[in-house]
Structure 1
Amino acid sequence: MSTQPLIGFTTYLVQARWGAWDAPAALVHATYPRYARRAGGLAVLLPPDDPAAAEAVLRRVDGLVLAGGEDLDPALYGHSAHPRTGRPVPERDRWELALLDAALRRGTPVLGICRGMQLMNIHAGGTLCQHLPDEVGHDGHNPRPGTFSDHLVKPVPDTRTGGLLPEAVQVATHHHQSVDRLGEGLIPTAYAEDGTVEALEYAGDRFAVGVQWHPEARDDVRLMEGLVRAASGG
């Protein structure tokens, strides 16, 4: 294996404008591939595709990042849409669920970020709170849409997340949904001060970690370094 593992990042599939063009585009914020490079990995983008291709794609990457993005379709966990839930993007939902399923079967290291953590929970049979302010009584997890804010997160000791982040940390936040019922086989591994689950992982030796915040938006690369090490066989 290369000394720099290849890390696949999922992407949006949206209408976008650049130069003279206004067309469908597969994109992700540039902080994501930079995040991989800063931690010693190589980045490749994995735009929504035929879910049947997920297994072949996972044979070609060493690690998988499920990036942030749009709200997941509540029908995936048997709920009706809340008035504040965004329009679903079924192509992306199906693709990322297939990638995650293949990664877990193959033992490919996974890091879920924001939407990616929520997708991990849904894949495991869990549910989401569709509008977090309804539950916690404040908008501190997303006070200014389109801008990252910061709040304190406390990792749980004796977990993979807690091993990578052994102390309470200020993290970049931008989400209005959160884990409700935890999926089977998952354990919560970090909390916000209001009790919101901020990280989860599968028990055992596999590297399959989800965080509700956006580590790629700040200077702390410890989570990505953990993924890179796992993707390198370490």
Structure 2
Amino acid sequence: MDKLAKGIEEMKQQNLEQAAKWFTEAIEDNPEEPLGYINFGNLLLHMKDYERAQRFFERAIEKDSHAATAYYGLGNTFYEQEDYSRAQEQFLRAIEEGLNEADVHFMMGMTFIHQEHYRLALPYLMTAAEIDENDIDIQFQYGLCLAQNEDIEHAEQQMNHVLQLEPNHSDAYYNLGVIALYKEDVDKALAKFNQALEIQPEHMLAANGKKQIENMLDNQS
């Protein structure tokens, strides 16, 4: 096992100081190789040391301007600091350099979501969902984005897909309740809100939705 692999393994075990030691040695052994800088950047990002993480990713890019994972790491550094426009630039560059994993498309989509550019987010979240059909968070955020783009039928299908992956996903039930309300199916909406509350009794949005329906039914009686 080489030093980078040892560092990654130590990082997975949360032995961060030992991971830093292996990554430092890897950089010293191969100072022109970008992977050492990228892995050290990922470690610093994990430690929320954003300023130093940025420097390491930029150093990796200096060594190899086509290092897609360095752009991805730099994008995550900006994203964690809520600098979504700069994060977008880096995620896009990572994609252009050939990184075609679900995570980079997902993160690109999420930068648009945070800026309420839902239509721009949709193709990236759709691509992420197609690449990784079993990632619950990706599938859920894609469903939300479909709803935000008023594609209600596909949003409903997507939330049901989330429930196939995770039967106790309270937010998926809540959103199915909202969709049912949109379709004016009050009984179904109430049932979905109740299912969300069975899973997560403190789900405030579901509780509020249920209360609104019950108040409406009381006023009709």
TM-score using structure 2 length: 0.26
Higher relative contact order (CA 8 A, sep 6+): 1
Give the structure with the higher percent strand: 1
Give the structure with the higher percent helix: 2
Higher Cα Rg, which structure: 2
TM-score using structure 1 length: 0.25
